[in-house]
A and B are shown apart, each in its own frame.
Chain A
Amino acid sequence: MNIFVHIILAVFLLQQATPPTPVNDTPLKTVEQFKATLDKSDLAGLCLFMAEDDASGPLKRIHYEQMQRSLENLMTMWRGQRFIYSVVEIGTGKQANQASIKVEVPNLSQQIKFVLLKFNNAWYIFDMEIYFK
């Protein structure tokens, strides 16, 4: 019985430490999936695509709630809007684990620059910069 409880606890803690990795093996896929999740109003799902603010790795579960509240405003703004993906830049050399994607949101006259970081062969959104035209 005790072993059983320990196994459940271990699995639970493991889940806390490593969030499930979506299929985000290219920067573009990450942003596309981020947008698809956003269109589904799945705030919790969006956290899977985010990196920690200090660039230390994928977003930790303990920060999910904060991130959901932080993304709420963007979800309201971007849900259902058409994203036109324009420029994908992947760093080289020391910057090989960094990429950026520019996205146009024509209806909102916005250009967004997503900055992504690579951790364990998966890309995560580290920063979003919104330019208003």
Chain B
Amino acid sequence: MFADAFDRLTGWYRRLDTSVRVALVVLVLMYLVALLAPIVAPYSQSEQIDIVRMKNHAPSLAHPLGTDRVSRDVLTRILYGARVSLSIATLAVLVSAIVGTLYGLVAAVAGGVVDTILMRLLDAMLSIPRVLLLIAILALWNPVPLWMLIILLGLTGWFDVSRLVRAEALTIREREFVVAARSLGARRSRILLQHLLPNVLAPVIVATTLGIGNVIVLEAGLSFIGIGVREPSASLGTMFQEGTEAFAGTWWAALFPGVVIVVTVLCVNILGDALRASLDPRHLPRVLLGTPTAAVPPPATAE
């Protein structure tokens, strides 16, 4: 059974584009390393090795990415920073996915006045610039604990998801298999969970994947202006901010965390694009399917 699953997995992997493969491998490694940070990291977290003699050392064999202004090993801090950044982003995006899916489904199933009200509310929430809202909340209600930051990032990121879900659910609701289920006397809750939910998941998965990249950047930006993740915990954004305070002299303390952010987001975007292409055929440019100017026209479909 395992061999079979393994075969299918490797087969699927081999069919991927090279760029997607690389992105996938990099991301998996990133998550693994972040998860195992206490084991892989060459030094212990925020250990100040020798604050006088070892501070601001350029990359060397003992410290491949150098040391920062209080003599902490940059590589070690990046591993722990990636742990914080990735956890925040992943959890926040899950919050968004759950809230957004439920909201969209409820709006689509309820219909009528409830739907109108829910959608107007959504318009209002979409109108608040996310960055401004987050800056205001985080700065005024400080210090915000880490779990609260995750919830806040999650609760300000589900609006698009619920729009997608509602639109998708509205079309699926009218499809034959749902009509059949309804005429057979299936209860609303059953239709919702058995028929609508699994079928709206594709856009949710795509939006969620791409959302991870967004949230990493957003959290890094907030930490960059000093109101996101605060000491003693540090995300990649916090490290980048600390590093830029003396960027010209000790470039390694800012450059490497920054590069890790960029690489992560790039990989997430590549993966998200690939997922969209395979899960959501409507968004796939037909040219890429290989029959752009096919001599034989596709059979006409009855609408």
Q: Do A and B bind each other?
A: no
A interface list, Cβ under 8 A from B: none
B interface list, Cβ under 8 A from A: none
